[in-house]
Amino acid sequence: MSIQQRPAVERVQPPKTPYRLVNRVMRGLLSSPRRARGVGRHLMLLHVTGRKTGRSLVFPVAYRTLEDGRLLVLTNSGWRVNLRGRSDVAVTLLGERRKAGAELIEDPQTVAQLYRDLIEAVGHEKAGRRMGIRINVPRTPTLDELATAATRDGLSVLYLDLDSRSPGAQPPIR
């Protein structure tokens, strides 16, 4: 009998039924400026149009504000394919809907470097939970381990440039 070893980094898949309920509640909370005050500092709604169906899709996502004002979203969710080659989306940030340009990064080497930089900034002990991944080694994963996870699990990075003409421009969150 062989014991299968877990990879150094792997995607975390939450249970579907409770996750659907939580997403429904979060969409309600994040859609109002008053209700989004607390949780909206780290979560927002991403509005995407389905590339095959044309349906309007809304997803609660965690984000970080970068020094240059762009928003960074880490994802391994299936909805990301709707953003390949697309540039226009909308976000509801702190209860206000705004236009944004989206750039999806799926190149495993680029994704690995970005994930590694964030893991090192937060520390590998805390990074997994914050980034939607599971780190199964007692150290920062190597670039090769992260690139393998990006290829195997679809880890990707989404940059969002908020339309500067939209109301409520936000300063960087640290």
Task: Give the pLDDT confidence score for residue 128 in this predicted structure.
Answer: 86
CB 89, CB 149: distance < 8 Å = no
Model pTM score? 0.86
The CATH classification of domain 15-162, taken from the options 2.30.110.10, 1.10.3090.10, 3.40.1010.20, 1.10.1740.10: 2.30.110.10
Asked if pLDDT for residue 173 goes beyond 50, the answer is no
Q: Mean of the pLDDT values across residues 19-33?
A: 89
Q: For 49-95, what is each residue's pLDDT tens digit?
A: 988 898 999 999 999 999 999 999 999 998 999 999 877 899 999 99
Asked if pLDDT for residue 37 goes beyond 80, the answer is yes
Helix (H) or strand (E) holding 65, with range, is strand 64-65
pLDDT grade for 170, boundaries at 50, 70 and 90: very low
Alpha carbon distance 127, 120 (integer Å):
8
Task: Give the pLDDT confidence score for residue 4 in this predicted structure.
Answer: 63
Q: For 112-130, what is each residue's pLDDT tens digit?
A: 999 999 999 999 999 988 8
Question: CA of 50: how far to CAs of 30, 76, 93, in Å?
Answer: 21, 17, 21
Asked if pLDDT for residue 172 goes beyond 60, the answer is no
Alpha carbon distance 98, 103 (integer Å):
16
> In whole numbers, what is the pLDDT of the chain averaged over residues?
88
